[in-house]
Structure 1
Amino acid sequence: MSLKPHTTQWHQFFQRWANTGLSLQGQIRQMLVSVILDEQHPVDAPIPSSREMAAQLGVARNTVVIAYQQLVDEGYLVSRERKGYFINTNILAGRVERTAGPREAPLAPPEWSRRFRFRPTEQRNIQKRADWQRFPYPFLYGQFDSSLFPIADWRECCMKTLSVLEINEWAQDMIFRDDASLVEQIRTRVLPRRGVWATNDEIIITVGAQQALYLLADLLVSSDTPVGLESPGYPDARNIFSSRSQRIVNLPVDDGGLQVSDTLYTCDYIYVTPSHQCPTTVTMPIERRHALLEMAEKADFILIEDDYESENRLHGDPLPTLKSLDRSDRVIYVGSLSKSIAPGLRLGYVVGPAELITELRGIRRLNLRHPTVYMQRAFALFLSLGHHDALLRRLSAAYRQRAQRLLEALKEHLPEVQATPVSGGASCWVRGPGWLDAAELARAAAELGVLIEPGSVFFNQDTPPTNYFRLGFSSIDDEQVAPGIALLGQALRALAPREKG
Structure 2
Amino acid sequence: MSCQAARAHTVMWDQLFERENDSALSLQERVRQMLVSAILSGHLPPGAPVPSSRHLADQLAIARNTVVFAYQQLVCEGYLVSRERSGHFVSGDVLDGRLAAPAPRPATPAAEGQDRWDKRLRFRPSAQRNIVKPANWQKMPYPFVYGQFDAGLFPTAEWRECCTRALSVLDIRSWAPDLITHDDPALVEQIRTQVLPRRGVWASADEIVITVGAQHALYLIADLLVHHETAVGIEDPGYPDARNIFASRTPCLHGLPVDENGLRITARLAECDYIFVTPSHQCPTTVTMPIDRRQALLDLARDADCMIIEDDFESENRHGDAPIPALKSLDRSGNVIYVGSLSKAFAPGLRIGYVVAPRELIVELRALRRLMLRHPSAYIQRAFSLFIALGHHHALLRRQSQAYQERADRLSQALRRHLPDFEAVPMTGGSSCWVRGPAWLDTNRLATAAVARGVVIEPGDVFFKEAAEMPLNTIRLGYNSIGPSQIDAGIEMLARVVRELQGQAMGRAVTA
1:66 corresponds in structure 2 to: 69
Q: Distance in 2 between matches of 1:133 and 1:106?
A: 36
| Matched position secondary structure for 1:498 | helix
Query: TM-score when scaled to structure 1?
Result: 0.97
- Are 2:485 and 1:483 aligned? no
1:439 aligns with 2:459: no
Q: Is the 8 A contact 1:333 1:350 kept in 2?
A: yes
- Give CA deviations for 1:186-211 in whole Å, capped at 9, x if unaligned: 00000000000000000000000000
Q: How many Å apart are 1:423 and its aligned residue?
A: 0.8
Q: Aligned to 1:53, which of 45, 52, 56?
A: 56
What SS does the aligned partner of 2:93 have?
Answer: helix
- 3-state SS, counterpart of residue 146 of structure 1: coil
Residue identity in the other structure for 2:506 = R
- 1:160 CA drift (Å): 1.0
How is 1:281-430 mapped onto 2 (pairs within 5 angstroms)? 281-430=286-435
Decide whether the 8 Å contact of 2:142 with 2:482 is kept in 1.
Answer: yes
1:153 maps to: 158
Cα RMSD over matched residues?
1.6
CA deviation string 1:411-433 (max 9, x = no partner): 01001110000011000000011
> Is contact 1:76-1:91 (8 Å) kept?
yes
Give the SS at the match of 1:86. Answer: strand
Q: In the TM superposition, what whole-angstrom CA distance separates every residue of 1:48-98 from its partner, at most 9, and x where no partner exists?
A: 111211121112111111111111111111111222111112110111123
Bigger drift between 424-433 and 81-90 goes to: 81-90
Q: For residue 132 of structure 1, what is the aligned residue in structure 2?
A: 137
Runs of 5+ unmatched residues, structure 1: none
Kindly provide the amino acid, as one letter, of the partner of residue 24 in structure 1.
L
Alignment check: 8 A CA contact 1:181 1:380 kept: yes
Instruction: Check the 8 A contact 2:79/2:94 in 1, yes or no.
Output: yes
Q: Which moved more, 1:268-277 or 1:141-150?
A: 141-150
Q: Is the 8 A contact 2:8 2:49 kept in 1?
A: no
Report deviation, 1:106: 6.4
Q: Percentage identity across aligned positions?
A: 61
1:380-439 superposed Cα distances (whole Å, 9 cap, x missing partner): 000000001110111011000000000110001001110000011000000011111100
Residue of structure 2 aligned with 1:251, choices 248, 256, 267: 256
Question: How far 1:45 moved relative to its partner?
Answer: 2.9
User: 1-side partners of 2:329 and 2:205: how far apart?
Assistant: 17
Q: What does 1:225-240 correspond to in 2, within 5 Å? A: 225-240=230-245
Q: CA deviation at 1:7?
A: 6.4
SS in 1 for 2:152: helix
Q: 1:174·1:370 contact (CA, 8 Å) conserved in 2?
A: yes
**Are the aligned partners of 1:20 and 1:27 in contact in 2 as well (CA < 8 Å)?**
no
CA distance in 1, matches of 2:10, 2:165: 42
Corresponding residue number in structure 2 for 1:12: 15
Contact 2:142 2:456 in 1 (8 A): yes
- 8 Å contact kept, 1:4–1:42: no
Inter-partner Cα distance in structure 2 for 1:98 and 1:368:
29
Residue 78 of structure 2 corresponds to residue 75 of structure 1: yes
Residues in 1 aligned to 2:160 and 2:69: alpha-carbon distance in whole angstroms: 25
> How far did 1:99 drift?
4.8
* Stretches of structure 2 lacking an aligned partner (at least 5 in a row): none
Deviations 1:350-401 (A, max 9, x none): 0000000000000000111111111111010000000011101110110000
Q: Please name the residue that 1:472 is paired with.
A: 478
CA contact (8 A) 1:270 1:303 kept: yes
